[in-house]
Structure 1
Amino acid sequence: MIILVHDNNKVVALLNVNLEPIDVSLNKHIATALIDLSKQFPKTLIIWCHEAFVQSINTTALQSVFHHKRILASYNPSVVNYLPNQIGYIDREFFLKIKTSVSYPTWLTSSNIGGVNSSVINSLLHQLNPKVSFDYFLNSLAKRAMVAGLFCYSEPKLLQENTSAIVETQQASVSDLFLFVKQHYKWVWVFFLSISYFVYEKKIVLFPLLKSLFFKQLSTDLNLEVLSIQSTKTTSDIKTIDVIIPTIGRKQYLYDVLRDLAAQTLLPNNVIIVEQNPLMESVSELYYLKTEDWPFTIKHTFTHQSGVVNARNIALSQVRSEWVFFADDDIRFDKYLLEHSFKTINQFGISILNYLCLLPNQKQLFFRLQQTSIFGSGCSLVKSEALKATLFNSAFEFGFGEDSDFGMQLRNKGYDVIFVPHIKITHLKAPIGGYRTIVKQRWADDAIQPKPSPTIQLLYQTYFTDQQLLGYKLLLGLRSYKHSAIKNPMTYIKYFNKQWKRSQFWSRQLN
């Protein structure tokens, strides 16, 4: 391991793990020095650190933080990031509102302290531009490489708990922000960013906009697959699995799911089924749970209370195994699903994985194992320790967003969600069962209907930054205008604002 010490402007020292000086001649420009170090030491962990934090490096945690080669982690003890909050106007993912007290997945990277294996830098040499500031260099690297399979985190364990030093982050200028957006997002977003500045901050940012147009978008076609991975973290011990399945009116589809589970080369211990039927005189129709022999224990709950949120929470209360497979009642999968899952879990040291879930004739578009802001409540495998004191939020019942909210609860506890494209589930999208009742939302009779759905408003209010929420509002308003019967712009804006306020009102009522 090598520690590269800087003062924000230049390299001031190189140290080993014992914080002793290393005599290596390097360029004083920090990004260039990082690249040069990677060439000279091609298979080592390189830590960058502001000189104010050298004595606060938590060297005992580095092995657990960087438990495989494809991890980039940094930490910013300041409340100010290099990229200003306005980046939220154009970014819609859950990576910006960082919970700094836990390990949190994000491409927002800090020069205060961080690290990456030199093999990552060497794999991307021809894609990196060391002539920019070090913070720009790091954020650009993480933003582009995260979608290529680099695991990026805000990691408080990099510093000792009693660290009191604070270094004021040198924030990017408005011009640098526009340049970053132009190089890392589709070109249209620089125009949307300028509109957001005008609408919400009453600023005209014409020069940064025009200047950014002279730059091309940087490629995200980065190849990190050449880096073989074997995590040093022990994630799974006994490989016991509980499967939870909420179901309503789909007895044949559920039967097929159970047959797929029974054929697994690694069998689950328990299958927890929560069957719903709102008809008060009804009884269970799942006769085959008792008439057939199953190679696992079936825990069956029958309830007249409908709702997938309630059903999954009932099932979660019955979990006893080390892992939980969140399944739907209309999916199909091959016999190696669970066995192959643990090969991936142990290889990458992960605690939550999302399977590739496609409709029968749907084409696969994503092929890289990577961090994701999505959580699939019907196609995920989760370590049970992550689920302690975690439930699906009943505010989302019969609405949208309960799975995204659940995934965010897990991230805010320090767990990452990894998309695994090589383990596949087929989602049959079965017709709605015959015992479902139409749920009338509380806002159904409002003279002005809320926009967006109050559950989506609640989700974004909770997990978006202020700028992300404002950017979403502006984008929703623009997209809705072309479908609106109101064509007078001023009249439309007034009406849309009323819809937004009704959405806010009902989201508060739900919460």
Structure 2
Amino acid sequence: MIIIYHHKNKVVEVENDQGFISFQQKNTIEVLFEAAEKFENHFIIWCHIDLKDCLSSESLSDIFHHRKIMASYNIGEKFFLNNAIGYIEESVFLNVNKNVTYPTWMMSSWVGGLHASVLKALKNDFRKAKSFDYFLVSLGKLASVKGLLCYSEPQLLNNKQVSLIEYKDNFFVLFQFVKQHYKTRWSLVLFLNLILYERKIKLFPLLYGLFFKKREIRNDSLNTIEVSSSKKVIDTGTIDVIIPTIGRKQYLYDVLKDLTLQTHLPVNVIIIEQNPNSESVSELDYLVSESWPFIIKHTFTHQSGACNARNLALSQVESEWVFLNDDDNRFEANLLENALKNISLYGAECITTSYLQNNEVFKFKIIHQSGIFGSGNSFLKSKFLSSVKFNMALEFGYGEDADFGLQLRNRGNDIIYFPELKITHLKAPMGGFRTKFVFPWENEGEFPKPSPTIMYVKQKYFSLEQISGYRTLLFIKTLKGKSLFKWFNFYTESKQKWNLSIKWSKKLL
């Protein structure tokens, strides 16, 4: 490890295992790149000089367990980019839970680190940066979608109760960042939202930001960096598979046949069969009439609902890992074996796969931190099942997958997407005896918008700025095609629907 101690964008001292190195009084960013060239097989750690005694040196090897990890920790409540960035970004990476290891590109100069090979790969894209904080946030934002795994990591410090100067809101920097990292229209959306929700007219910062060019890095910049995690996440390697099903007898049979061909067989396949018809019985006769190379745990219930079915299945998991599957999936014989290989390679404890429908274009081809969670195409270490479950408040609605993924992230568990692990989602027609679930708000005269289940997830996990930005975009999208003379009435109507959605989301909470 190379540790760079800095103050006011200048290096104070640099040390490694052999002692101190002479880089003093140089620009911190320049020293990062110089150290990367000189110590190309090392992790480069930065730390504000006032935090030197708080740096948890003994935790560094556990935090940086492979070369494509970038981690930092922000002291204080405010990040370098102020909270207004939430007006234009809805992602799960923004509202950081600082108590756990949390995936985010919002890096900090207080303390952090990354591997020299990452700096060497990106030196041509970032060397001109002047502000250390801006450099780190920009690198995190752009490289996180190219395969760099970025985290807020509280374990970097063994004492976080340190009084340091808070970042001040700088709207010139904010608009510069938005122009360089988003499409130009988002600068205008940010400007509009600041007027709507904060009564701030930031015309000069808007104009200032427009002078900057968009920043990008090549798709293959980080491809040459090998990943081999030192973190052991697999012990027995046993896998249970859960499958909720309703009225898809043949589709489920095909899924089971795919599982019988696996080069790494599951131990248990847990099937929750639903049919709300009180006089119905199971139609899955082949579970008994045929022999299977794994144990089948079959539960038949008259209570329908995917959340309930998945929770029932998860409560029966016995193996080290669980594969959350669906009853209309198809996959190759090496899926489970390759999933474990990638899990071991990255030291990951939750992964998700490519999940395309037939004839859908394969776009996302880089391993990266996923902003979504798929309840039909994910692998999860079963030790987390005692603290997460599918939220019954969202049954029959929308957002249960997002809620489950956010539960995991807020417990310190990242979700890594592996594009080469492929599951085809057939999107089979609904089967079985199904009746439309009627939500209580559907009986009222005015229908809430957005859906209260979506609002529930927003209110529970996202910042006020993110919710407000979502509201603005929702209004703009539904405004299309409306007559100019009806805009005021439409605004009043939209406000009523929004407030109604908030009312029902609170009842769900």
- TM-score, normalised to structure 1, is 0.97
Deviations 1:461-504 (A, max 9, x none): 11111100000011101111115578522222111110000000
1:170 positional shift: 2.9
Counterpart pick for 2:167 among 162, 170, 175? 170
C-alpha distance in 1 between matches for 2:413 and 2:51 = 26
Tell me if 1:294 matches 2:296: no
Map residues 10-25 of structure 1 onto 2, 5 A cutoff. 10-17=10-17, 20=19, 22-25=20-23
| Counterpart residue number, 1:215 | 212
3-state SS of 1:200 partner: helix
| Counterpart residue number, 1:80 | 78
* Cα contact 1:387–1:410 (8 A) shared by 2: no
Query: Which range moves more in the overlay, 482-491 or 284-293?
Result: 482-491
C-alpha distance in 2 between matches for 1:135 and 1:62 = 21
* Cα contact 2:101–2:153 (8 A) shared by 1: yes
Query: Which range moves more in the overlay, 221-230 or 472-481?
Result: 221-230
Map residues 10-409 of structure 1 onto 2, 5 A cutoff. 10-17=10-17, 20=19, 22-25=20-23, 28-160=26-158, 162-171=159-168, 173-222=170-219, 223-409=221-407
Deviations 1:311-335 (A, max 9, x none): 0011011011000000010000000
Deviations 1:339-398 (A, max 9, x none): 011111111110111010000111100100000110000000001112222110001100
1:56 positional shift: 1.1
* Cα contact 1:242–1:325 (8 A) shared by 2: yes
Matched residue count: 508
Query: Which range moves more in the overlay, 483-492 or 50-59?
Result: 483-492
1:70 positional shift: 0.7
| Counterpart residue number, 2:496 | 498
Gaps of 5+ in 1: none
| Counterpart residue number, 2:3 | 3
1:509 positional shift: 1.3
C-alpha distance in 2 between matches for 1:254 and 1:74 = 45
3-state SS of 1:471 partner: helix
C-alpha distance in 1 between matches for 2:146 and 2:427 = 30
Counterpart pick for 1:417 among 398, 401, 415? 415
Gaps of 5+ in 2: none
* Cα contact 1:26–1:36 (8 A) shared by 2: no
1:131 positional shift: 3.2
Letter in structure 1 aligned against 2:8: N
Map residues 425-504 of structure 1 onto 2, 5 A cutoff. 425-483=423-481, 487-504=485-502
1:132 positional shift: 2.3
Deviations 1:212-253 (A, max 9, x none): 112111114341010011100101111111100000000000
Q: 1:280 to 1:484 in 2, by over 3 A?
A: farther
* Cα contact 1:330–1:430 (8 A) shared by 2: yes
* Cα contact 2:11–2:23 (8 A) shared by 1: no
Identity among equivalent positions (%) equals 48
Q: 1:484 to 1:102 in 2, by over 3 A?
A: same
C-alpha distance in 1 between matches for 2:50 and 2:294 = 57
* Cα contact 2:243–2:270 (8 A) shared by 1: yes
* Cα contact 1:270–1:296 (8 A) shared by 2: yes
3-state SS of 1:346 partner: helix
3-state SS of 2:283 partner: coil
Letter in structure 2 aligned against 1:4: I
CA root-mean-square deviation: 1.3
3-state SS of 2:224 partner: coil
* Cα contact 2:13–2:22 (8 A) shared by 1: no
- TM-score, normalised to structure 2, is 0.98
Query: Which range moves more in the overlay, 107-116 or 9-18?
Result: 9-18
Letter in structure 2 aligned against 1:214: F
